[in-house]
Copies of this chain bind each other. A is one copy, B any other.
Amino acid sequence: MTSQRVTITDVGPRDGLQNQPKILTIDERLMLVRAIATAQVPRIEVGSFVSPKAVPAMAGTDLIFDALAAQSSFQTPTVALIPNMKGYEFARDAGAEAVTMVLYASDGMAQKNAGMNMSEAEDVTVDILRQANQEGIQVIATIAVAFECPFDGPTDPTIVQRTVGKFLQSEVSQVVLADTIGAADPQQVRDLTSTLIKSHGGERLGCHFHDTRAMGLANVYAALESGIRHFDSSIGGLGGCPFAPGASGNVATEAVVMMLEQMGFDTGIDLPLLLDASDLAQTLTGAVSGGRSKVWLQTQLQKQAL
């Protein structure tokens, strides 16, 4: 039996760093992106083009893209998160191969995060999609608060179903369900993802979990059971959302990779090098690594090295 491929996008350099108290320099951010790429992570969200006033940690993302473009050995596909058409133009001009545009499953979060309502964010995404298709740039549509919103409470799954249906009919490369504040339980994840996969298949669906309630890996497993094969995760479990109270770190890339590989999936990722990247994330940010399985993983690797 050929093992099934699962693809990971590491969002640590964006989702991870934007919520750390310590703001990294451009060089430090580059070091982190390169370390993740060295571990053969297949795609990296390297930064966002948002207002540097709102998210100071993401100022200078264009410089990151410039430096990576100048490095011929750097071959990892890169993504930039964008909030609107202006962000898209910045990302395009910087040379991003893909952009993540954020959609919302609640008006409360759309308003707080982007100053729009749900429907306005969809309209903006449709415009960006049209432009991006002409310009050969992939668009990932990430649906924030797909399970629960810190302002509007539990999300109505039919809103998510409608949005997913609408955008999977378009030219988006992927639709990602984001549990922005880490509120979902595995039963909710299983129910929503299996319903969506029944209607649309799983090819272009992904999931993005936070580990706020320690259910991150349980949610990854539940989504896998439904047939999801794309996941966002963050090196060292760094993460959060500056506009979502109660959000803590993303599920750690090293924890997800360990579980997937043990279950017989193929991620293509080099786990020892991934742990090096996790160590670097910890050193650079001063954050205690949220990768809860790391102690165990490191012990194992030390044993193997003996």
Q: Identify which of A182, A246, A292 gathers the most chain B CB atoms within 10 Å of its CB.
A: A292
| A187 and B217 within 8 A (CB) | no
**Which residues of A, 207-260, contact B by the 8 Å Cβ criterion?**
211-215, 217-218, 220-222, 225, 246, 248, 252, 255, 258-259
| B292 and A214 within 8 A (CB) | yes
A218 to B211, CA, bound (A): 12
Chain A contact surface mostly: helix
Segment of A24-32, A78-86, A198-206, A293-301 engaged in the interface with chain B: A293-301
Residues of B within 8 A of A259 (CB): 185-186, 213, 215, 218
A185 to B218, CA, bound (A): 10
A224 to B88, CA, bound (A): 44
Residues of B within 8 A of A214 (CB): 217, 252, 255, 291-293, 296
As for how many copies of this chain the complex holds, the number is 2
Residues of B within 8 A of A297 (CB): 213
A262 CB–B CB distance under 8 Å? yes
A246 to B295, CA, bound (A): 10
A217: contacting residue among B217, B258, B262, B264, CB under 8 A: B217
| A258 and B213 within 8 A (CB) | yes
A225 to B182, CA, bound (A): 21
A306 CB–B CB distance under 8 Å? no
Report the minimum CB–CB distance from A180 to chain B (whole Å).
14
The 3 A-B pairs of least Cβ separation, nearest first, read: A214-B292, A214-B293, A218-B218
The 25 listed contacts between A and B (C-beta, < 8 Å) are A185-B259, A185-B262, A185-B263, A186-B218, A186-B221, A187-B221, A188-B263, A211-B292, A213-B255, A213-B258, A213-B262, A213-B297, A214-B217, A214-B255, A214-B291, A214-B293, A218-B218, A218-B220, A218-B221, A218-B259, A221-B221, A225-B225, A246-B300, A248-B295, A292-B292
